[in-house]
Structure 1
Amino acid sequence: MAHSNLEIFKSIIDRGFSRGDLSVADEVCAERLLEHQYLTNTDLPGPDILKSQIENARRSINNLKLTLNASVETEDTVWARCKATGFDPRSGKPVTIDVMDICRFAGGKLVEHWGVPDRFALLDQIGALPPPPK
């Protein structure tokens, strides 16, 4: 039974990012993934790019939980707004950030991704940014 692109995306955020199941990348990624997210190593096969992103996210936020808040699905693309929660591994402080994703699919596989995690919110919550001017 074919899965919708939104169901595939949900498996990436639930199994991959929230549970750390790297096997989801082998199931859902094309061998050639065009990746547009800042600081992502793109010199890897598609599934390995996603595995690297999952591992990096789970190292950056302990007990990472990614929750889908809103999405739009068209013929080949899913636009999504998610909430990432967990704890900063250095300070132990709780963190919550928004993540925007645009995923393009072909033949039931992820073939292109743009990801925008709110890194400024993360830096602010862990005290790495100066306080705003008064």
Structure 2
Amino acid sequence: MPTNLEQFKAIIERGFSRGDLSVADDVCAETLIEHQYLTKTDLQGPQILKRQITSARESIKDLKLTIEASVETGDTVWARCKATGFDPRSGKPVTLDVMDICRFAHGKLVEHWGVPDRFALLHQTGALPPPPNLS
């Protein structure tokens, strides 16, 4: 049986970076408690993850998510990831950090907290005004 960290890596690499939605069927419990802001949660566990992958890949063209640091402790994986790609409307390159906390039970994802740096994304796509000149 894969470790929790291996399961998390599959979500990031197969799911978010390659768009392979079948990873959700492999790693998610039927019931997933989702804490990420604006995530639709009235679905079965694998369907929640499939929707998250689809939404992320629609929001960032050519999405590549890379694990930069991770810790597995007990039943939980904590990770800092880097998302790169292009804004589909403007074509501008974007880069943002994503923090994930995933709790597993019996080898399946049962709870997730995700915090993508949406301010960075909004700033890079021109949706937020530039920061004031602090020099």
TM-score (norm 1): 0.98
Q: In the alignment, which residue of structure 1 is the partner of 2:125?
A: 126
Which residue does the alignment assign to 1:20?
19
2:105 and 2:34 map into 1 onto residues whose CA distance is: 15
Distance in 2 between the 1:55 and 1:103 partners?
A: 19
Coordinate RMSD, CA, aligned: 0.5
Q: Give yes or no for the alignment of 1:55 onto 2:76.
A: no
Whole-angstrom CA distance in 2 between matches of 1:36 and 1:6? 19
- Unpaired segments ≥5 residues, structure 2: none
Residues 15-44 of structure 1, C-alpha deviation per residue, up to 9 Å, x if partnerless? 000000000000100000000000000000
Deviation for aligned residue 1:115: 0.1
Query: What secondary structure does 2:2 align onto?
Result: coil
Which secondary structure does the structure 1 equivalent of 2:130 belong to?
A: coil
Residue in 1 that maps onto 2:40: 41
Tell me the equivalent position of 1:110: 109
For residue 4 of structure 1, report the CA deviation from its aligned partner. 0.6
Number of matched pairs: 133
Q: Which amino acid aligns with 2:131?
A: P
One-letter amino acid matched to 1:44: L
**Structure-1 residue corresponding to 2:29:** 30
> Does 1:90 find its partner at 2:95?
no
In the alignment, the residues of structure 2 paired with residue 70 and residue 133 of structure 1 have an alpha-carbon distance, to the nearest angstrom, of 31
Q: Give TM-score, length-normalised by structure 2.
A: 0.97
1:71 maps to: 70
Structure 1: runs of 5 or more not aligned: none
Q: Which amino acid aligns with 1:41?
A: K
**Shift of residue 133, structure 1, vs aligned partner:** 2.5
Show CA shifts across 1:82-130 (max 9, x none).
0000000000000000000000000000000000000000000011101
Moved over 6 A (4+): none
% identical equivalent positions: 80
CA distance in 2, matches of 1:96, 1:42: 26
* Alignment-mate amino acid for residue 34 of structure 2: E
SS at match of 2:7: helix
